Amino acid sequence: MTIPAAARPVSDDGTVVIVAHRGPHDFVWEAGQWVAKASTNGLVSMIEPLARQPNVAWFCCVSEPPGSESERDALYTTANDQTDSDLNVVPVPLPAGIYHEYYGVISNEILWRLHHHLVNQFGYAQLDQKTHRAWDSYLEANRRLAEAIRATEIPVRAFLIQDYHLYPLAEMLRRHFPETPILHFIHIPFPEPAILKLLPKAWRETLLRGLLGCNVIGLQTAADVRSFLACCQEILGATVDLHRSTVILSSGRTVRVRAFPASIDPKALKTLQQSAETAEARQQLASSMGELSIIRVDRLDPSKNQIIGFNAFERLLDLHPQLIGHVRFLAFLIPSRTDLTVYLAYRDAVYREIERINSRFSQTCGFNPIEVFYTSDRTQALAAMESCDVFLVNSGKDGMNLFVKEWALVSHKPGVLVVSETVGVALETRALSLQVCALDVEGIAKAFAEALFMPADARSAWLSPLRANIEKWTAHDWLVAQLRELEITLPEPAPFPAHLKPATQKGVVEWELRVLNKEGIHARPAAAFVRCARSFLCEIEIIKGGTSFSAKSILSVLTANLNRDTHFILRASGVDATAAAEQIRQLLESFEHEEG
């Protein structure tokens, strides 16, 4: 994919700012506690290569710790959990109550479910006083993000906003950055007007107007683009150009609405596939795979429709009893939102159904035909993808589903994809998979049988072009296509100017310092801190918790989270190191006097 000649490198104009609810880390339950680990989430994996470029900042939401130990059952993420020395991550703290209502109630209990057409027992059912209060927190969280970005006073080249948690943000940013390009990518399916009307009028109008603060709105598929345009036209009465996929605002500004199908990084996937961890997972799974195997890999979430998939497997065994004892169903179910009651209820319902089906067939099979791996172990799932006969995705509604693309690249048996027509990836795999109605137990069971009995050469005839299509449109292409819309290229890091390099290293000065001012080193003192550090030739680092942060980067200083009473090591290396350390020490003291 070529970059237009008019595109300008980000370093010429300022910082590209990524804004997402998520930071670079996920949370895994280990030894009775939540542990922060590098995220395997699709959103994070796609934006991280951009985030590692120079002059790119990543703002994310974090929660201040709840007020008592009894509240720790609710999963939250703190600033310390999201810092990463290789990234310019700027965590924006939210009070624990606001964080829970903005994220847990509005984003997950309402918007996620509505976008996935979940209006049922495990879905969006009603709005009460609690949810109306939570709506105010959703808006407040977005306001605090916008204010935190503004307060850094960094020159912004463009904004890349991610997902449904931040629908109002673009309009808020537009007030402070009227000329700055903004692109908001939505990773989940966008609902039709009739579905969006299940939100109160003021809410749905606020969400749409918030998105129209962008220059470009990115969605997964052409169907999502049509849904968004229809919502703008029907709900807001906006002028829409269906041919050009644009919304024309009363101000005369035009908002472009585009499809950027999400994808994966084949090189990174191959590296993981060849790792020692994946080799170990293959050995551990060997006894579970059996003669024939069906697998699914998805979060344990009502939108993934797992119960229907297990019912279809039961029906397969009824239709083809000769398969009993020869075929296994391996379900890799990733824990999801376990702090929300409805997700726990859904998990329990899934397990009850699995136990019922296993009790019917285990004696005849000599084993449980359905085996569950309730884990976030990606290498384990990857090993199963390699050698399964059938890969099932029967979500009721899905944005894209990147697991399908991973499976297609690693499958070597080869396997067959059974996918519901309402999944985003179904369009890309239309002639290369068995497509089913997400709720059709009988139809899915018959697709299982067709896939299991399909000759190897027919399977290969589908899998080869599917692989080729994925390799033609990777996560890199997904990202570049969005940057093209904003006329941005990202250069390699420029070398440090030779005339600014210290001629010699005459020692290293390390002082332990303490932040004494009440508000800590927030945006304004951070700017002064960085200006002071940049006035010296020596290298200056902040060492905190074993992690090094550059004292000459405002983003790095903010990422260090230098709150009141924080102790850190100031390390200066170079010809003027002692003078630099003394000047910064005096600056910290002046902050204390100015801010109390």
Active site residues: 522
Strand spans (E) along 48-123 = 56-63, 89-94
Q: How far is CA 462 from CA 5, 349, 357, 390, 411, in A?
A: 38, 35, 31, 13, 12
C-alpha 483/C-alpha 489 separation (Å) is 7
Three-class DSSP category at 331: strand
- The rounded distance, in Å, linking the Cα atoms of 124 and 120 is 7
At residue 512, φ and ψ (nearest 5 deg) are -85, 125
C-alpha dihedral sign at 157, 161, 166, 168: positive
Buried b (16+ CB within 10 A) or exposed e, 390-425: bbbbbbbbbbbbbbbbbbbbbbebbbbbbbbebbbb
What is the C-alpha separation between 260 and 187, in angstroms, rounded?
10
Dist CA 571 CA 543 (whole Å) = 7
Q: What are the tokens at 400?
A: 């894209």
Spatial CB neighbours of 132, under 8 Å, sequence gap ≥ 6: none
How large is the angle between the packed helices 266-273 and 402-410, nearest 10 degrees?
A: 60
Site of tokens 């060492």: 543
- C-alpha span between 570 and 512 (Å, rounded): 6
Contact of 39 with 129, CB cutoff 8 Å: no
**Alpha-carbon distance values, 224 to 192, 245, 400, 527 (Å):** 8, 11, 11, 42
Using DSSP, state whether 542 is helix, strand or coil. Answer: strand
Query: Distance between CA atoms of 194 and 223, rounded to whole angstroms?
Result: 15
Residues 83, 93: Cα–Cα separation, whole Å: 12
- Write the DSSP string, 185-240: E--SPPPPHHHHTTS-HHHHHHHHHHHTTSSEEEESSHHHHHHHHHHHHHHS--EE
Q: Residue 384: left if φ>0, alpha if ψ -120 to 50, beta else—which one? A: alpha
Expressed in angstroms, the distance from the first to the final Cα of the chain is 55
When computed from its CA atoms, the radius of gyration of the chain, rounded to whole angstroms, is 26
Sign of CA dihedral 361, 363, 369, 372: positive
**Which is nearest to 162 in space by CA: 187, 135, 189?**
187
Beta carbons of 291 and 256 less than 8 angstroms apart: no
Burial 323-362 (b: 16+ CB within 10 A, else e): bbbebbbbbbbbbbbbebebbeebbeebeebbeebbeebe
